[in-house]
Amino acid sequence: MAKKESVIYPYIPNSVPEIKEEMLKEIGIKEAETLYGEIPNNLRFKRKLNLPKPILAEWELKRHVMDILGKNKTCEENLNFLGGGCWQHYVPAVCDEIASRSEFLTAYAGEVYPDLGKYQAFFEFQSEIGELVGMDVVSLPTYSWGCAAGNAVRMASRMTARNEVLLPETISPERLAIIRTFCKSAVRKARIDVRLISYDSKTGLLDLESLENEISSKTAAVYIENPSYLGFIESQSERISKIAHDNGAMSIVGVDPISLGVVAPPADYGADIVVGTAQTLGIHMNCGGGGIGFIASRDEEKYVAEYPSLLISISNTVQEGEYGFGICAYQRTSYASRDKAKDWVGTTTGLWTIVAAVYMALMGPCGFKEIGQTIIQKAHYAIKLLSEIGGISLPFSSNSFKEFIVNFDGAGMSVTDVNKALLSHSIHGGKDISREFPELGNSALYCITEIHSRQDIENLVSALKEILK
Amino acid sequence: MKSQVKLRKYHAPVWSEPIIMEMSHRGERGILIPIAEDEIKTAIGDAESYVPEEMQRKELPKLPELSQPQVLRHYEHLAQETLGMEENIDISQGTCTMKYSPKVNEILARTPQIADIHPLQDEDTIQGVLQIIYQLDLFLREISGMDQFTFQAGGGAHATYINACVLRAYHDANGELGERNEVITTVFSHPCDAATPNTAGFKVITLMPDANGYPDIEALRAACSKHTAGLMMTNPEDTGIYNPRVEEYVKAVHDVGGLCFYDQANLNGIMGVARAREAGFDACHFNLHKTFSSPHGCMGPACGAYGVRNKLAKFLPTPLIGFDGKKYHLDYDRPDSLGKVREFFGNVQVLLRTYAWIMSMGADGLLEAAHVSVINNNYLSKLLMAIPGVTKRYAEDKIRLDQVRFSWEKLEKDTGCGTLDVQKRMIDFGVQSYHTSHHPWIVREPFTPEPCETYSKEDCDYWAAVLRQVSWEAYTNPKIVKTAPHNAAIHAINRDVLDDPKRWAMTWSAYLKKVDNNR
Amino acid sequence: MSKKLGFIVNPIAGMGGRVGLKGTDGQMILEKARQLGAVPESPRRSAIALKRIICIKENIELITYPHEMGEDEARECGFNPTVIGSIRLGRTTLHDTENAAKEMLRLGVDLLLFCGGDGTARDVYNVIGDEVASLGIPAGVKIHSAVYATSPHNAGDLAVACLEGSSSGLRLRLAEVMDIDEEAFRDNRLSARLYGYLKVPYQRRLVQSGKSGSTHEEEASIDAIASDVINNMQDDCLYIIGSGTTTRAIMEKLGLENTLLGIDAVYSKKLTGLDLNEAQLLKLTEGTRAKIVVTVIGGQGYIFGRGNQQISAKVIEKVGKENIIVIATQNKILSLKGNPLLVDTGEDKVNQMLGGYIKVISGFNERIMLKVAT
């Protein structure tokens, strides 16, 4: 190996042949090959990996990658109205700054003594989310809202010893698919049945009669979302929680916390477990890589015992007045108990957790109130202008928070065609939901946030006017 | 071998940071946000009128109120109180492959061309992203010998969960799911290889090591039956020992109709040397945040890239990325798919860093990384074995690959200082606390360093010198080890609080309610 | 109020070991050991433990027996002990240990620390049962009982943690007192039995990392095992429940009366027999399907023939190998250090039948493959 022309790799200090040889000598062997003596010959990979010729110089590499990425059209270049599970909010510069701190970026699973700051930031995240949703226990987040919802349903099933969950038909099909995966089991009797409750075709709100009919002593939980996938706020939330409780079931609520400066915290309307995303809290969309989902509940042992994820608790130390932190009731997690665990836990979204903590600290109570108000006003401004366009109708939009359905049936155009046309105006149109909800016709889910100026909204409106003309 | 290493004077930064809620000053603002223009306000009126009355928030959340520099300073202090891989010789966290993440890749991952892309954009506007993912899929196919990868899993355990779901879908498709309800794993595999199939509803059967440290193959044969759904194992296991009979294990499971999954968290030492395919596995996974250089980010975002042979590809989560020779596209039309385990198609920023890293290394570079990691490990092993109190169990004569599971059992017997004591003392010298072992501790008083190719000879010397010092202290002045840490940001923590419902507090609000219980 | 620590040394424990005798129970053997030049291990070992306790000397009252039964070691290590009782120097017997334990129980010690081997643990157990926390400093030749700390200095550290009461993760658990028939042992035959349980402190070792996990919580594991067994219980089948804390958890989860050291039986989740002997078991299994649930008894890995001789070869043969359910926590399995499970039914044929691999239930839906040696 040392004989052939060696590349000195800047990321590998010991790729210098002399050093390598010296180390081999210290180990007492002649060549690195000897170190693989344990691998039987027939299991050895004989040829060289067929990979592209490496781009060794950093500048060339950067250029190569930037050339590929240049084929993307970003949401900075284009005006974006896509939401539906990943949302474009403004990311404060301080969030980017902390996200790039090498300590947070490159630390991993260190103990609390060397990694105190990481633990404290995690605790602050939990505390801040707790304030927003009105709960005293919040876990370290999992991969996404959908995963958190899946975990919560399983928690409820274990806690109630029941095997059925009721969800609104208006749930995000993507989150539903994840929940379904989490509810499956190799053993029939351990499966959780996922049943959908119909909605009022005029408002999108859950059909309470249908809920009353479907709920039974088999129901572990009723899961609803605020705002819902289709954008509206479920005004009957308190009654839904009550119906669940009256039947011995739990109430699980999914939230986008960016709404919680103006919308009531789920604890206030009877939620037992709250889940949601934190991607909207200072995390870039990253083409879906910004996903992060939390779980929260009341501070009761029976809940804490069922969390699949890590819970960071504050503690004290032998030094008066010093805070310490640690992992609470640690036996629950799969790390500790292997397959005895209630669920599994792994590397999830630590860096995003810290960034979201920074975001919530920057925003404070006023920031959340103002951003909620701004989003609602801007969204409803868009709703108002769009509804004035011939050929467009906007079902379910009266209670919208930031997302709403735009229906093009009146114009006789498919969403695909509308969106293609919008692209030529440098606009990413709303998410096409006509296959997800065929009963809603040619509909798209539009998303307006604080980043959309009045001008942006008016640009969308004039582009659509032109397209639908 | 006798290197004279001068241990550094180290003390962690101590900022005694209050909890951010305690720093709040009423009225301060950290950031202002764009308020709706007057025209909008006039046209629309109050926002509250659009929120059903019963759904309006009555009281503002008790979030901290701070100005921007105060927020920034607080989190920069917390950053300083965190020992990142870049700030120390992170040989400590074995099985985690604490590899250097090239800064250029970080810059690339932060460009708007990645950061500010929406996953539902028209395919024409994300051709760059799709190309990166597609190419990376091809690279990993070559490195593993598998036929198709999915990147939906946000971490390694998430990928093993996909595997458990694939086992379910595969046996279900064959009409055998009711019958096949057992998954076999080994005790030295990662705990997720037991926990994820269990979550998916399988009964889990664990194999213990035989006298040589290999999973007991006779036990495996006895465990295999018509109930076997699959095998989930690592190789080399966390002991660093490569199991040369791995083919026989795979065959035993295949013979009874089970599938074999290769947890490749420990790939680093055998990249380009041995592949999942040649050993007969049906599926495998790679940790892109470990072996492939994406940073660990305080536990993510990460990626467990999961690859399968053709016969299992149809079960993978949707979407996959296709290429028709001109254009890349997202393929959602997969009727046999197990569905989804997470929204969208993966942590794209992680995939980009991995792509860039592989492009910068090439086939020779990957092999070099593997070779150097094994050389480093054997060099460090020699240094550590010379330290009083250090032993290693199993297969003394066998060469270990990427890591070794050592034991302080002797030190503990001699001095009363066990591995958790050493772990707390070592950080006083500026290195990260080491990984002991996943549970259960088969090797007593374990510790598991992994000196991957990022670390120089001097790094290995220093790390070994720290442990030599702690060992010496244990023999001469055990109290200093027992009462560690001494140079960390805080002192010994009261752990009883953490398991006590009357005192634990996961949020500041809970803490305030319970603070008197802590006195 | 200062805590009271009772301290008893069996002055002759460990004498047999170095001279090749297997234990020192009985005067004859003791004399033989002395003739062979044996020196007791206990003074040295108990001093190691005491030295680790000296740091809390001011806060505790050390109560001990005279001279070689604790006083000497205590004074040598710098304690100023309260000495009670009287002994015949150089002629102490198990009655002295029992008397000392009795007196200390009466004085209300918070922890009884004793130094010796299996015999000593038995003597202590005979008097105190699980009324008060106790802990052994290992010094004897035979240590099969789980009541001993892993080393003398660990015994000292545990005692400190227990008396200070402030230590993180300190718990009490019931640990087995085992002893073997020394006469049989010296004849190279091994026959041990479970005498009972002492309440001993142990330290949970919490590893606070997202990565490492912590040690198993024994009670949680036992509970999970019980859930698994109950979940798979069939109604038309007799369940013979062996002795021990692991099997007892099944009975308690079912809300049934039970005996810790005896063999009980369950049919359709209802109690059908308590503390059964072989004849009763044979009778109960008449004309019905039956399963036997046993755990691993003692540190050596016996599943039959130690502490459950009532489940005789005949009973086992009648029930059949496929109907034997072995349950054990992971910790217990690990304590075997890779050694196989053992059986000693008294019948070679039955022992042979039981050989091979078995899926031991170690948690809910969790099995560990273990070999049963033949």
Q: How far apart are the first and last CA of chain B?
A: 52
Please give the angle made by the CA atoms of B433, B437 and B438, to the nearest 5 degrees. 120
Pair (A272, A323) in one structural domain? yes
Pair (B71, B205) in one structural domain? no
Pair (A372, A386) in one structural domain? yes
Question: Could B219 and C357 be called an inter-chain contact, meaning their C-beta atoms sit closer than 8 Å?
Answer: yes
Test the B interface: residue of C171, C208, C211 with most B CBs within 10 Å: C211
Query: DSSP state, C33?
Result: H
pLDDT of residue C302: 85
Rounded CA separation C312/A158 (Å): 40
What is the interface pTM, i.e. ipTM, of the complex?
0.97
Three-class DSSP category at B11: coil
Domain-located, residue B88: no
Question: Could B442 and C359 be called an inter-chain contact, meaning their C-beta atoms sit closer than 8 Å?
Answer: no
Pair (A47, A85) in one structural domain? no
| Percent of all residues in chain A with a pLDDT value above 90, rounded to a whole number | 88
Residues 6+ apart with CB under 8 A from C344: C190, C191, C302, C304, C305, C306, C351
Rg, Å, chain A Cα set: 26
Rounded CA separation C8/B519 (Å): 37
pLDDT of residue C293: 97
Task: Assess whether pLDDT exceeds 60 at residue A3.
Answer: no
* Residue A206 belongs to domain with CATH number: 3.40.640.10
Which chain A residues are within 8 Å of C204, Cβ to Cβ? none
Q: Which residue of B has its CA nearest to A432?
A: B120
Three-class DSSP category at C112: strand
Say if CB B82 and CB A54 are below 8 A apart.
no
Give the end of a domain, one of A307, A328, A359. A359
Pair (B424, B458) in one structural domain? yes
Domain-located, residue B353: yes
pLDDT of residue A308: 87
Closest partner residue to A94 among B20, B71, B192, by Cβ? B71
Pair (B176, B299) in one structural domain? yes
Pair (A252, A400) in one structural domain? no
pLDDT of residue A338: 39
Task: Assess whether pLDDT exceeds 90 at residue C141.
Answer: no
Pair (A352, A237) in one structural domain? yes
Check residue B240 and give left, alpha or beta (phi > 0: left; psi -120 to 50: alpha).
left
Closest partner residue to A39 among B75, B80, B273, by Cβ? B273
Pair (B430, B511) in one structural domain? no
| Confidence band for A340, pLDDT divided at 50, 70 and 90 | very low
pLDDT digits (tens, 9 = 90+) for A303-330: 998 898 899 999 999 899 999 999 987 5
Rounded CA separation A151/A188 (Å): 19
Task: Assess whether pLDDT exceeds 50 at residue C215.
Answer: no
- Look over chain A and give the mean of its residue pLDDT values, rounded to a whole number: 94
Question: Could C357 and B218 be called an inter-chain contact, meaning their C-beta atoms sit closer than 8 Å?
Answer: yes
Say if CB C117 and CB C10 are below 8 A apart.
yes
Q: Is residue B485 less than 8 Å (CB to CB) from chain A?
A: yes
Domain-located, residue B91: no
Pair (A160, A240) in one structural domain? yes
Domain-located, residue A347: yes
Domain-located, residue A73: no
Of A116-125, A352-361, C234-243, least confident by mean pLDDT is C234-243
Q: Is residue A338 less than 8 Å (CB to CB) from chain C?
A: yes
How many domains does chain B contain in total?
4
Closest partner residue to C206 among A330, A338, A345, by Cβ? A330
Question: Could C217 and A331 be called an inter-chain contact, meaning their C-beta atoms sit closer than 8 Å?
Answer: yes
pLDDT digits (tens, 9 = 90+) for A93-141: 999 999 999 999 999 999 999 999 999 999 999 999 999 999 999 999 9
How many domains does chain A contain in total?
3
Smallest Cα distance from A49 to chain B, Å: 5
| Subunits adjacent to chain B (3 or more Cβ pairs under 8 Å) | A, C
Pair (B343, B429) in one structural domain? no
Pair (B474, B508) in one structural domain? no
Three-class DSSP category at C227: helix
- Look over chain C and give the mean of its residue pLDDT values, rounded to a whole number: 85
Closest partner residue to A336 among C214, C365, C366, by Cβ? C214
Of C218-227, C231-240, C260-269, least confident by mean pLDDT is C218-227
Domain-located, residue A6: no
Show the domain range for A55. 13-67
Say if CB B43 and CB A387 are below 8 A apart.
no
Question: Could A340 and C211 be called an inter-chain contact, meaning their C-beta atoms sit closer than 8 Å?
Answer: no
C-alpha B148: how far from chain center: 22
Residue of higher predicted confidence among A253 and C337: A253
| Confidence band for A337, pLDDT divided at 50, 70 and 90 | very low
pLDDT of residue C298: 58
Question: Could A344 and B192 be called an inter-chain contact, meaning their C-beta atoms sit closer than 8 Å?
Answer: yes
* Side chain identity at residue A228, one-letter code: S
Give the pairing of strands C270-273 and C264-267.
antiparallel
Rounded CA separation B395/B313 (Å): 38
Please give the angle made by the CA atoms of B122, B128 and B131, to the nearest 5 degrees. 105
The two three-digit tokens of residue A309, written as one number: 């994820």
Question: Could C214 and A326 be called an inter-chain contact, meaning their C-beta atoms sit closer than 8 Å?
Answer: no
Which chain C residues are within 8 Å of A107, Cβ to Cβ? none
Q: Is residue A370 less than 8 Å (CB to CB) from chain B?
A: yes
Listed in order, strand segments (DSSP E) in B378-428 are 391-392, 406-407
Say if CB B86 and CB A128 are below 8 A apart.
no
Q: pTM for the whole thing?
A: 0.91
Three-class DSSP category at B183: strand
| Percent of all residues in chain A with a pLDDT value above 70, rounded to a whole number | 96
Domain-located, residue A3: no
Domain-located, residue B122: no
* Residue B409 belongs to domain with CATH number: 3.90.1150.10
Test the A interface: residue of B1, B21, B23, B78 with most A CBs within 10 Å: B78
Three-class DSSP category at A395: coil
Pair (B403, B478) in one structural domain? yes
pLDDT of residue C355: 94
pLDDT of residue B37: 97
| Confidence band for C15, pLDDT divided at 50, 70 and 90 | confident
> Per DSSP, what are the bridge partners of residue B16?
none
| Confidence band for C210, pLDDT divided at 50, 70 and 90 | very low
Task: Assess whether pLDDT exceeds 50 at residue A2.
Answer: no
User: What value does the mean pLDDT take over residues C196-203?
Assistant: 87
Test the C interface: residue of A313, A331, A345 with most C CBs within 10 Å: A331
The two three-digit tokens of residue B210, written as one number: 């035989």
Closest partner residue to A109 among C211, C216, C220, by Cβ? C211
Rounded CA separation A84/A430 (Å): 9
User: What value does the mean pLDDT take over residues A395-404?
Assistant: 95
Task: Assess whether pLDDT exceeds 70 at residue A457.
Answer: yes
Let me know if A314 is exposed, middle or buried by CB neighbors in 10 A (0-12, 13-18, 19+).
buried
* Residue B352 belongs to domain with CATH number: 3.40.640.10
Pair (A107, A220) in one structural domain? yes
Q: Is residue C362 less than 8 Å (CB to CB) from chain B?
A: yes
| Confidence band for A32, pLDDT divided at 50, 70 and 90 | confident
Task: Assess whether pLDDT exceeds 60 at residue C162.
Answer: yes
Say if CB A118 and CB B489 are below 8 A apart.
no
Question: Could B33 and A299 be called an inter-chain contact, meaning their C-beta atoms sit closer than 8 Å?
Answer: no
Closest partner residue to A317 among B82, B122, B491, by Cβ? B491
Domain-located, residue B317: yes
pLDDT of residue A305: 85
Task: Assess whether pLDDT exceeds 90 at residue C203.
Answer: no
Pair (B160, B38) in one structural domain? no
Question: Could C212 and A327 be called an inter-chain contact, meaning their C-beta atoms sit closer than 8 Å?
Answer: no
Q: Which residue of A has its CA nearest to C331?
A: A337
| Subunits adjacent to chain A (3 or more Cβ pairs under 8 Å) | B, C
Pair (A115, A195) in one structural domain? yes
Q: Is residue A317 less than 8 Å (CB to CB) from chain C?
A: no
Q: How many of the other CB atoms lie within 10 Å of CB of A5?
A: 5
Query: DSSP state, A263?
Result: B
Residues 6+ apart with CB under 8 A from A422: A428, A429, A460, A463, A464, A467
Which residues numbered 24-63 in B keep a CB inside 8 Å of some CB on A? 24, 28-37, 39-41, 43-44, 46-48, 50-52, 54-58, 60-63
Pair (B210, B337) in one structural domain? yes
Which chain B residues are within 8 Å of C371, Cβ to Cβ? 216, 218-219
Say if CB B438 and CB B190 are below 8 A apart.
yes
Domain-located, residue A151: yes
Domain-located, residue A395: yes
| Subunits adjacent to chain C (3 or more Cβ pairs under 8 Å) | A, B
pLDDT digits (tens, 9 = 90+) for C95-140: 999 999 999 999 999 999 999 988 899 999 999 988 899 999 988 7
Task: Assess whether pLDDT exceeds 50 at residue C212.
Answer: no
Q: How many of the other CB atoms lie within 10 Å of CB of C161?
A: 17
Pair (A395, A301) in one structural domain? no
Pair (B391, B421) in one structural domain? yes
pLDDT of residue C169: 64
Which chain A residues are within 8 Å of C215, Cβ to Cβ? 336
Question: Could B223 and C369 be called an inter-chain contact, meaning their C-beta atoms sit closer than 8 Å?
Answer: yes
Low-confidence ranges of chain B (pLDDT < 70): 1-3, 518-519
pLDDT of residue C89: 85
Question: Could C220 and A331 be called an inter-chain contact, meaning their C-beta atoms sit closer than 8 Å?
Answer: yes
DSSP string across C190-224? --EEEEEEEEEEEE-----STTT-----HHHHHHH
Q: Which of C296, C309, C285, C310 is nearest to C339 (CA)?
A: C296
Q: Is residue A110 less than 8 Å (CB to CB) from chain C?
A: yes
Which chain C residues are within 8 Å of B219, Cβ to Cβ? 357, 369-371
Question: Could C168 and B494 be called an inter-chain contact, meaning their C-beta atoms sit closer than 8 Å?
Answer: yes
Closest partner residue to A286 among B102, B114, B459, by Cβ? B114
Which chain C residues are within 8 Å of A111, Cβ to Cβ? 208-209
Task: Assess whether pLDDT exceeds 90 at residue A384.
Answer: yes
Which chain B residues are within 8 Å of C167, Cβ to Cβ? 496
Backbone angles phi, psi at A224, to 5 degrees: -130, 170
Domain-located, residue A5: no
Q: Which of B298, B165, B199, B106 is nearest to A292 (CA)?
A: B298
Rounded CA separation C221/C208 (Å): 20
Residue with tokens 């805590």: C3
Pair (B296, B402) in one structural domain? no
Size of interface A-B (CB pairs under 8 A): 754
Three-class DSSP category at C40: coil
Q: Which residue of C has its CA nearest to B497?
A: C168
Give the end of a domain, one of A303, A335, A359. A359
Pair (A383, A355) in one structural domain? no
* Side chain identity at residue A234, one-letter code: E
Show the domain range for B43. 20-80
pLDDT digits (tens, 9 = 90+) for A140-167: 999 999 999 999 999 999 899 999 999 9
Q: Is residue A301 less than 8 Å (CB to CB) from chain C?
A: no
Task: Assess whether pLDDT exceeds 70 at residue A413.
Answer: yes
Pair (B312, B452) in one structural domain? no
* Side chain identity at residue A113, one-letter code: Y
Residue with tokens 């119906």: A243
Q: Is residue B2 less than 8 Å (CB to CB) from chain C?
A: no
Of A22-36, A449-463, B63-77, C202-216, least confident by mean pLDDT is C202-216
pLDDT of residue B396: 76
Give the end of a domain, one of A335, A359, A383. A359
Q: Is residue B479 less than 8 Å (CB to CB) from chain C?
A: no
User: What value does the mean pLDDT take over residues C161-165?
Assistant: 84
Domain-located, residue A42: yes
